[in-house]
Structure 1
Amino acid sequence: MSTSGPVTDPDVHDEDAESAGAERPNRRRARRRRRVPLPGWRAVVATLLTVTLLAGIGLYVRAGQLEDSGATGNLALADVEATDGVAGEVTDILRTVFSYTPETIEETERRAGELLAGPAAEEYGELMAEVRDLAAEQQLSLTTTVVRVGVRDLTEDRAHLLVFLDQVAERAGEDPATTAAQLSVTAQRAEDRWQVTEITSR
């Protein structure tokens, strides 16, 4: 007996089909497992990229500031002696004008007239007009200690500083009271010395 067409074994065909059918889902699952990242992977990579980018931008901006004429003109970045000089003078000024006793308040005001100028001198005069009578009546004394000074920027004739200070107020018959203050200070060079021209409480 003859037959036309290919001869196939039904059992073999069915086994191969079943085997192939079983392998395809396994391969799909394997591919899906390979494509699925670990939990948080995208967040970690995004964070690392952001940090790297920000660091690069920071370095670029800093380099630009150093190259900029305004930054290179800031002596606080380059001249240690000038920076220490203005910090020392402003420290002495603030300690002098904000320290007094009933006996020395007039001398303190006189010295303030030499050490302060501009808005700082005007505001100080108004303040001391109120304090002068209280100091005599209540035996009020004030001692100021400059704790820290930071020079934010400095040119040949102008400086901006951030000053931290402690003040101890004493009144007759009462315990001393200590307070801390933070000031933004502007100083202007007048001939061979510095004068404080603006004082802002922060």
Structure 2
Amino acid sequence: MSTSEDVRPLIPAPRTSPENDPPRAPVRRPRLLPALLVVALALAIAAAGLLVRAHQLGDTPATDNRALVDTAATAQVAGDVSSAVTRIFSYAPDSTAATREAARGLLAGRAARQYAELFGQVEKRAAEQQLTLTTHVVRVAVSRLTDTSARVLLFLDQVAERRGKPPTTAAAQLTVAAERRADRWQIVDITSR
């Protein structure tokens, strides 16, 4: 037999009502999904912004400037323009006709008109004063270059010699606009600086 201590009641203990239950911690629902959506949206906006900025950078005039990336084309235009400037701004009293003829093939547009006006006066003075002018390109820089146009900055030394007088040297600076016609560059505008 068993003792009274081993006896368990057969009737269960009364249940308490929900009002009497101890307070429970609120049920936490995972907030991971909304947080992931916010992060994904932020990344998508940032990526779209980067794509727009990359497109803007790709469409700047600097990317069209071959002088920044094409050394062969830059060297060609620098050489052609330097050679042309040397030829059209160098003459002797007995060779002005040859200089004028060279200018016809090297100049076009506004530059040809400017040169024709200026050189008419130079021819008279060169003969009267027995003036020889020799132009040397000291430095050349191509600031803008496309397939068909270029802007070139030239630094020149010009040596003037008159019969019976010592030579004088003067520095000059020109900005030249050139256009590619056929397979060579022609000067279309000259601005003295």
In the superposition, the TM-score normalised over structure 1's length comes to 0.66
Q: Which runs of 4+ in 1 moved over 4 A?
A: 63-66
Q: Deviations over 1:147-171 (max 9, x none)?
A: 0000001000100011101000111
Q: Deviations over 1:62-115 (max 9, x none)?
A: x99853342211101111100000000000000000000011110000010000
Q: Does 1:147 align with 2:119?
A: no
Partner of 1:138: 129
Task: Give runs of aligned pairs for residues 172-187 of structure 1, distance below 5 A.
Answer: 172-187=163-178
Count of equivalent residues? 140
Structure 2 partner of 1:170: 161
SS in 1 for 2:165: coil
Letter of the structure 1 residue corresponding to residue 134 of structure 2: T
Hey, what does 1:128 align to over in structure 2?
Answer: 119
Q: Equivalents in 1 of 2:55, 2:143: separation in Å?
A: 18
Unpaired segments ≥5 residues, structure 1 = 1-62
Q: Which has the higher helix share?
A: 1
* Separation in structure 1 between the aligned mates of residue 80 and residue 179 of structure 2, nearest angstrom: 11
> Which structure 2 residue ranges, 5 or more long, are not aligned?
1-53
Q: Secondary structure at the match of 1:137?
A: helix
Partners of 2:153 and 2:93 in 1: CA distance: 29
Name the SS for the 1:175 alignment partner: coil
Alignment of 1:24-63 (within 5 A): none
The aligned residue for residue 94 of structure 1 is 85
The verdict on how the C-alpha distance between 1:165 and 1:66 changes in structure 2, with shifts beyond 3 A counting, is farther
2:142 counterpart SS class: strand
Q: Which AA in structure 2 matches 1:161? A: V
Of all paired residues, the percent bearing the same amino acid is 54
For residues 164 and 66 of structure 1, the distance between their equivalents in structure 2, rounded to whole angstroms, comes to 32
Measure, in 1, the Cα distance between the counterparts of 2:146 and 2:87: 24
Task: Give the alignment's Cα RMSD to 1 decimal.
Answer: 1.5
Whole-angstrom distance in 1 between the partners of 2:172 and 2:134:
13
Structure of higher CA gyration radius: 2
2:72 aligned partner: 81
- Pick aligned residue for 2:181 from 177, 190, 195: 190
Q: Do the aligned partners of residues 80 and 118 (structure 1) sit closer, same or farther apart at CA in structure 2, a change above 3 Å counting?
A: same
Partners of 1:65 and 1:71 within 8 A in 2? no
